Amino acid sequence: MTYEAALKSGHKKGAAHCNDTEMLAWFCSGLQLTCGAISPKLVFEGAQKKGLTAREVAKLAHNDPMAIEELMWV
Protein backbone atom coordinates (compact mmCIF):
# COMPACT_ATOMS: atom_id res chain seq x y z
CA MET A 1 0.00 0.00 0.00
CA THR A 2 1.35 3.44 -0.85
CA TYR A 3 1.78 6.17 1.73
CA GLU A 4 -1.03 8.25 0.28
CA ALA A 5 -3.46 5.31 0.12
CA ALA A 6 -2.62 4.18 3.65
CA LEU A 7 -3.00 7.70 5.02
CA LYS A 8 -6.33 8.24 3.30
CA SER A 9 -7.66 4.86 4.38
CA GLY A 10 -6.47 5.38 7.95
CA HIS A 11 -8.14 8.77 8.25
CA LYS A 12 -11.33 7.32 6.83
CA LYS A 13 -11.39 4.41 9.33
CA GLY A 14 -10.15 6.29 12.38
CA ALA A 15 -7.31 5.31 14.70
CA ALA A 16 -9.23 2.60 16.52
CA HIS A 17 -9.84 0.68 13.31
CA CYS A 18 -6.55 1.14 11.41
CA ASN A 19 -4.30 -1.72 10.43
CA ASP A 20 -0.57 -1.36 11.11
CA THR A 21 0.24 0.07 7.67
CA GLU A 22 -2.42 2.75 8.03
CA MET A 23 -1.25 3.54 11.57
CA LEU A 24 2.35 3.81 10.33
CA ALA A 25 1.30 6.29 7.64
CA TRP A 26 -0.70 8.29 10.15
CA PHE A 27 2.21 8.34 12.60
CA CYS A 28 4.69 9.33 9.89
CA SER A 29 2.47 12.23 8.83
CA GLY A 30 2.94 13.79 12.26
CA LEU A 31 6.66 13.13 12.66
CA GLN A 32 7.67 16.55 11.34
CA LEU A 33 6.45 18.06 14.59
CA THR A 34 8.96 16.08 16.64
CA CYS A 35 11.78 15.18 14.23
CA GLY A 36 12.12 18.29 12.08
CA ALA A 37 12.78 18.44 8.35
CA ILE A 38 11.84 14.98 7.16
CA SER A 39 9.64 13.59 4.42
CA PRO A 40 6.84 11.52 5.99
CA LYS A 41 6.44 9.57 2.76
CA LEU A 42 10.13 8.61 2.62
CA VAL A 43 10.14 7.64 6.30
CA PHE A 44 7.04 5.49 5.70
CA GLU A 45 8.65 3.79 2.70
CA GLY A 46 11.94 3.23 4.56
CA ALA A 47 10.14 1.75 7.56
CA GLN A 48 8.25 -0.62 5.28
CA LYS A 49 11.47 -1.68 3.53
CA LYS A 50 13.01 -2.47 6.91
CA GLY A 51 9.87 -4.29 8.04
CA LEU A 52 9.21 -1.97 10.97
CA THR A 53 5.80 -1.72 12.60
CA ALA A 54 4.14 1.52 13.63
CA ARG A 55 4.97 0.73 17.26
CA GLU A 56 8.64 0.16 16.43
CA VAL A 57 8.83 3.47 14.54
CA ALA A 58 7.16 5.25 17.46
CA LYS A 59 9.75 3.80 19.87
CA LEU A 60 12.53 4.76 17.48
CA ALA A 61 11.23 8.34 17.25
CA HIS A 62 11.12 8.55 21.04
CA ASN A 63 14.53 6.99 21.69
CA ASP A 64 16.55 8.10 18.66
CA PRO A 65 14.98 10.86 16.51
CA MET A 66 18.04 10.92 14.24
CA ALA A 67 17.32 7.30 13.25
CA ILE A 68 14.00 8.52 11.80
CA GLU A 69 15.93 10.66 9.33
CA GLU A 70 18.01 7.64 8.35
CA LEU A 71 14.84 5.77 7.35
CA MET A 72 14.42 8.23 4.48
CA TRP A 73 17.56 6.87 2.82
CA VAL A 74 16.88 3.14 3.08
Domains contained in the chain, number: 1
Output 38-47 pairs: Cβ under 8 A, ≥24 positions apart: 38/68, 38/69, 38/72, 39/72, 40/3, 41/3, 41/4, 42/71, 42/72, 42/73, 43/68, 43/71, 43/72, 44/3, 44/6, 45/3, 45/74, 46/70, 46/71, 46/72, 46/73, 46/74, 47/71
Residue 48 lies in a domain: yes
Percent of residues, the chain, with pLDDT higher than 70? 96
Span 10-43, pLDDT tens digits: 989 988 899 999 999 999 988 877 766 788 999 9
Residue 14 lies in a domain: no
pTM of the model: 0.86
Q: Where in the sequence is the domain holding 50, given as residue range(s)?
A: 3-8+19-71
